[in-house]
Chains A and B, each alone.
Chain A
């Protein structure tokens, strides 16, 4: 019924079908008639005529060839009969029709045109090739679909075991958490586009609202002060958010907190899936503390300023403890905010701090971060990669394995943007597609061992690069070039796609450390200058007159390795780096200078300008 409908519905299809049927039928009928006609010419008795007909038809040759064969066989029998041989004897001596037909067919086909034979050979070669490909694909498909990852380590559980081992009295996170639950809503005026929060000055129209907000925030900030002085952050990693905190924050924003539903934590989930909600919360606290320092300065409350600064450094140190690069970067951001605030205050109000305050600030900044200083480690990133491998690859027990269907889906889930290879981009995603190409991808992508070795090699290079002085690393660092090599070639980019995806932007991490180190050293110089002025009655004219605390960065310019520059301008010290052009422009800066624009990692040419480190821009 369906067929009839389609035949009548689509006239073109119907015509084509009928034409094909016509060709097939007419061809066979024509061939059959031609053979019969050719045999009839020789007036053979039925058994011989039938033998000729059946043999000719059994050859399955072209119609003209069949007629030729039939005619020649019939002619042969006619000659035999004419020579006096009985028909049944001739028929008996003929042999088996099927075998004769096959031999004739084989011989006749050899006589066909070269183009026809070439076409047949080509089709046969293609079929053979396709068959080989299909066979290979079949083998790969079995290998691919029979593989499954084996999760042997839970990095989340391992981290939480370490967190649980910290004495409860030393853990800061529970108090930070209380501080979050004690937070009050940030006024809309402060988070609107017009606001410069938290860099609001007393002459700013938002100042009264901000002051009122920061006064209401004191109970929360008091808890932050308390937490920041404890030795360990001590937070557990989870894959579910803290429902109590979420409800409190949503409630502060006027949302329906009761609509939020708690999700279940999965400590065996991928390491990459952990939530680090405290990082965002820390940044909020850091902004509030930063403004609190301004209010305290305005009110002449030195102790409050120092307490806020210490709290910021403590929060930064807590972030620094956490073994993830992103936590380290947040630590740098909070520390940078504190350095800016202290430096700004010192520039604007040199008499604000006592001599003891200056000494304490100098020591605190020089010692921040302990022996590791401002250098981040890649150890946690290696854990992340190892976790990725165990979730993507099978494990043969000897450190190697192949990509699995689950692994391919996991890799796909990591690729949100166009940076991923075409085979994983959203336009071609879908389970059907992955099922089809999975075996081929498994064969193309590097094995578990190769991925690990490549990653380890790159991490070793990156760690080595990080040991280089900043000004040398940019020129002689090899890790970035090794990564670029992977990305410069489509084949290697695909082969080591997991490495490329998971490998941190190493140069940027080094640059961040360089930038914060230079800012810290500049603040130490500014503090030393102020101490010098109080002792001698005037600012020093050069760094050699100062006694600076020892730091890992050694107060050296990250752009050229020479000591940071200092000169007196308008009777006040100016501390600067030569910037990207590596030329001492005597502290020249554009009117709208932005300190970060010429920091290490910046792509600004910085021609004719220096990177001004102190005093900070207003």
Chain B
């Protein structure tokens, strides 16, 4: 099931921040991880990911740097900044409250069931 773009617009940045919370990652790696770890629900292509990354970078939540990979080729890796970490904490709290509310009115279990 494809997620509405409005929902995706709110969830995408939080998902990317969360992935970068563990370690720094490059673009393709993020696309791959989002698709694999959300069973395709939060899958996004380059056309969505890179504008999203540039927005987060412009806001100072993440920062990117070209680094040489093991293959010897350069990749741009993104990492979470202190501001980004705080932002992630805020958004996580908000998502938890939202999820709680959705659960209360019976939306979340149904959605969780579909996702499962």
Chain A residues with CB under 8 Å of chain B are: 42, 69, 71-73, 75-76, 78-80, 82-83, 93-96, 99-100, 103-104, 106-108, 110-111
Contact = CB atoms under 8 A, between A and B. Distances in A.
Nearest to B45: A93
A103 B9 CA distance: 13
Nearest to B52: A107
A99 B55 CA distance: 16
22 contacts: A71-B76, A73-B46, A75-B26, A75-B28, A76-B27, A76-B31, A79-B27, A79-B28, A82-B71, A83-B32, A94-B45, A95-B47, A100-B46, A100-B51, A103-B48, A104-B51, A104-B54, A107-B50, A107-B52, A108-B58, A110-B54, A110-B58
Interface in B24-41: 26-29, 31-32
Given A75-B75, A79-B29, 4 more contacts: A76-B27, A79-B28, A94-B46, A96-B47
B47 A94 contact: yes
Contact of A75 (B45, B57, B76): B76
B90 interface: no
Interface string B2-44: 0000000000000000000000001111011000000000000
A82 B29 CA distance: 12
A197 to B, nearest CB: 94
A interface, by DSSP: helix, strand, loop or mixed?
helix
Contacts of A69: 50
B91 to A, nearest CB: 19
A104 B50 contact: yes
Category for how many chain B residues contact A: 20 to 34
Given A107-B51, A111-B54, A111-B58, A76 B46 contact: yes
A187 B75 CA distance: 112
Contacts of A107: 50-55, 58
Contacts of B50: 69, 72-73, 76, 100, 103-104, 107
Interface of B: 26-29, 31-32, 45-48, 50-55, 57-59, 71, 73-76
Question: What 5 pairs across the A-B complex have the smallest Cβ distances?
Answer: A107-B54, A79-B28, A95-B47, A110-B58, A111-B58
A100 B45 CA distance: 10
B45 A95 contact: yes
A260 to B, nearest CB: 85
Nearest to B71: A82
A106 B27 contact: no
A80 B47 CA distance: 14
A492 B53 CA distance: 60
A463 B93 CA distance: 81
Contact of A78 (B31, B45, B57, B73): B73
Nearest to A102: B51
B86 to A, nearest CB: 19
The residue among B50, B52, B73 with the most chain A CB atoms within 10 A of its own CB is B50
The residue among A79, A80, A103 with the most chain B CB atoms within 10 A of its own CB is A79
A93 B45 CA distance: 7
B51 A80 contact: no
A72 B66 CA distance: 9
B80 to A, nearest CB: 17
Nearest to A96: B47
Contacts of B29: 79
A103 to B, nearest CB: 4
B58 A99 contact: no
B74 A75 contact: yes
A466 B55 CA distance: 79
A107 B57 CA distance: 9
Contacts of B26: 75, 79
B28 A80 contact: yes
Contact of A111 (B28, B57, B74): B57
Nearest to B75: A75
A72 B51 contact: no
Given A107-B51, A107-B58, A111-B57, A95 B46 contact: yes
Contacts of B55: 107, 110
B54 A108 contact: yes
A83 B28 CA distance: 10
Contacts of B57: 111
A63 to B, nearest CB: 17
The residue among A69, A72, A95, A100 with the most chain B CB atoms within 10 A of its own CB is A72
A69 B64 CA distance: 12
A103 B59 CA distance: 16
Contacts of A93: 45-46
A250 to B, nearest CB: 88
A103 B46 contact: no
Contacts of A100: 46-47, 50-51
Contacts of B47: 94-96, 99-100, 103
Contacts of A110: 54-55, 58-59
Contacts of A79: 26-29, 75
A95 B51 CA distance: 13
A301 B98 CA distance: 122
